[in-house]
């Protein structure tokens, strides 16, 4: 499914050809998808017919060298499950793990520290194997830059200070130099996003706040789906070669400011994510995985 030189648009071919140094400077630039265990990916042909969910990760790891775990947003990670996942992939395979929703969306002001303890215990096997590349703190659009939210985020980042952390804002109020400077002081990665250009959403930026890591998430540009609030519509989008090539200059900028990079596609509804991930991998001149 990778985009070849024959299938790429002239613009995409030109931009890729003009930037051969990206992968030379950052050998551990990795491209993958947000989640991997989707039944519709069987229907779409990414996985063989009748592939059970427990067989998906090893098959995915043949194509990509990293994944972003989405299920840890819905439920607290458990160490035995992390061990099983670790055993199904090569040692060099990496994981970004989303912070659980009880720490980002459904916050208990009195019990969240206990939730954090459970989360850290759950991801410990990936820390021990050095396969944890990032903890993704995805904040909702309702999490605006106000005093209570600023205090909570500061305390949350304090609790995560010894881990590689990336923060994704969904509200534009956080797009300020003061926020970027504080993330830089903490060596916390600001997540760059590709989303529809809708009022109130965090804008597309190439700001790097952590010299160790930059992080980019492609959510798709389905404006009608984002307005609907329906997740199946929101992430139903297929990037063109030209749309992906638009990001090559920004990726080069971020790559020049960080030691490593993670790029994930979240447009998973009809298996567009792995298709687009392989297209971008080809444009960047990266090998498989």
**CA dihedral in degrees (257, 262, 263, 264; nearest 10)?**
-150
pLDDT at 84 over 50: yes
pLDDT at 41 over 60: yes
Nearest by Cα to 239 from 248, 227, 230: 248
Domains parsed from the chain with CATH numbers: 10-284 (3.20.20.410)
Nearest by Cα to 196 from 169, 222, 164: 222
Q: What is the pLDDT of residues 64-76, one digit of tens each?
A: 999 999 999 999 9
| Residue 276 near residue 239 (C-beta atoms within 8 A) | yes
Nearest by Cα to 283 from 10, 11, 16: 16
Alpha-carbon separation of residue 54 from 36, 38, 57, 272 (angstroms): 11, 11, 7, 21
Q: What angle do CA 71, 32, 97 make, to 5 degrees?
A: 35
What string of DSSP letters covers the chain? -PPPTTTS-HHHHHHHHH-THHHHH-TTEEEEEE----HHHHHTTSS-TT--GGGHHHHHHTT-SEEEE-HHHHS---HHHHHHHHHTS-TT-EEEEEPPGGGTTS--TTTHHHHHHHHHHHHHHHHHTT-EEEEEEE--TT--SSHHHHHHHHHHHHHTTTS-EEEE--BGGG-SHHHHHHHHHHT-EEEEEE----TTBPPP------TT-EEEEE----HHHHHHT-HHHHT-----HHHHHTTHHHHHHHHTT-S-EEEEE---TTSHHHHHHHHHHHHHT----
Q: What average pLDDT does the segment 214-231 reach?
A: 88
Q: What is the pLDDT of residues 264-278, one digit of tens each?
A: 999 999 999 999 999
Q: What average pLDDT does the segment 136-164 reach?
A: 97
**pLDDT for the residue 286:** 85
Distance CA 134, CA 137 (A): 9
pTM of the model: 0.89
pLDDT at 141 over 90: yes
**pLDDT for the residue 21:** 46
Q: Give the confidence band of 18 by pLDDT, cuts at 50, 70, 90.
A: very low
**pLDDT for the residue 13:** 33
Q: What average pLDDT does the segment 11-24 reach?
A: 42
**pLDDT for the residue 4:** 32
pLDDT at 9 over 90: no
The chain-wide mean pLDDT, for the chain, equals: 90
**pLDDT for the residue 232:** 72
pLDDT at 7 over 50: no
Q: Give the confidence band of 288 by pLDDT, cuts at 50, 70, 90.
A: low
Q: Give the confidence band of 229 by pLDDT, cuts at 50, 70, 90.
A: confident
Q: What average pLDDT does the segment 78-85 reach?
A: 97
């Amino acid at each position: 499914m990778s985009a070849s030189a024959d299938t790429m648009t002239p613009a995409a071919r030109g931009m890729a050809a003009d930037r051969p140094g990206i992968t030379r400077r950052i050998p551990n630039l990795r491209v993958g998808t947000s989640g991997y265990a989707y039944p519709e990916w069987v229907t779409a042909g990414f996985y063989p017919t009748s592939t059970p969910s427990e067989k998906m990760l090893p098959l995915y790891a043949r194509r990509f060298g990293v994944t972003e775990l989405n299920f840890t947003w819905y439920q607290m990670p458990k160490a035995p499950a992390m061990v099983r996942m670790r055993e199904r992939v090569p040692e060099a395979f990496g994981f970004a793990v989303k912070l659980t929703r009880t720490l980002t969306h459904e916050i208990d002001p009195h019990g969240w520290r206990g939730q954090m303890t459970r989360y850290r215990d759950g991801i410990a096997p990936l820390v021990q194997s050095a396969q944890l590349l990032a903890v993704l703190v995805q904040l909702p659009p309702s999490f605006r830059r106000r005093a209570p939210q600023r205090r909570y985020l500061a305390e949350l980042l304090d609790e995560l200070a010894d881990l590689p952390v990336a923060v994704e804002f969904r509200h534009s109020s956080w797009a300020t130099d003061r926020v970027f400077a504080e993330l830089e002081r903490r060596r916390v990665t600001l997540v760059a996003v590709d989303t529809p250009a809708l009022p109130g959403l965090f804008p597309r930026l190439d700001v790097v706040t952590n010299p160790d890591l930059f992080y980019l998430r492609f959510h798709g540009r389905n404006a009608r789906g984002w307005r609907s609030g329906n997740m199946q519509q929101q992430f139903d989008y297929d990037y063109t070669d030209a749309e992906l090539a638009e990001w090559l200059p920004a990726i080069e900028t971020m790559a020049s400011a960080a030691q490593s990079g993670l790029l994930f596609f979240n447009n998973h509804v009809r298996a567009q994510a792995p298709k687009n991930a392989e297209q971008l991998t080809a444009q960047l001149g990266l090998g498989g995985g």
